[in-house]
Amino acid sequence: GLFRGYNALVHAERERANFAMQLAEEEKLSSLGRLASGMAHEINNPLGGLFNALDTLKTHGETPGVRDTSISLIERGLAGIRD
């Protein structure tokens, strides 16, 4: 009767509250994943350029213009990651 209906209502409310907490936790983890992905992207893009500049420096570093350009690219890439 009345008590059974009340107990069912209380149970349903607890389930709703638990579901809301689980959903909030999943949304938080999803946001954290997107943030980590964005940070990795912001680091990996300059790293690719840094490796290219390093390779150029290794193979053509004896040429002053190439050496200066490569060093400049490496400095800018590192500053971009730092900032």
Task: Quote the tokens at residue 45.
Answer: 């893009």
- pLDDT for 4: 92
- pLDDT for 35: 97
Can you tell me the distance from the alpha carbon of 67 to that of 40, in angstroms, rounded to the nearest whole number? Answer: 28
Pick out the chain residues at pLDDT < 50.
none
Query: What is the CB neighbour count within 10 angstroms for residue 69?
Result: 15
- Please, are residues 61 and 67 in contact by the beta-carbon 8 Å criterion? yes
- In CATH terms, 2-82 corresponds, of 3.30.70, 2.40.30, 1.10.287, 1.10.3470, to 1.10.287
Q: By percentage, how much of the chain surpasses pLDDT 90?
A: 77
Query: pLDDT tens digits for 21-40?
Result: 999 999 999 999 999 999 99
- pLDDT for 83: 83
Nearest CA among 81, 54, 59, 82 for reference residue 70:
54
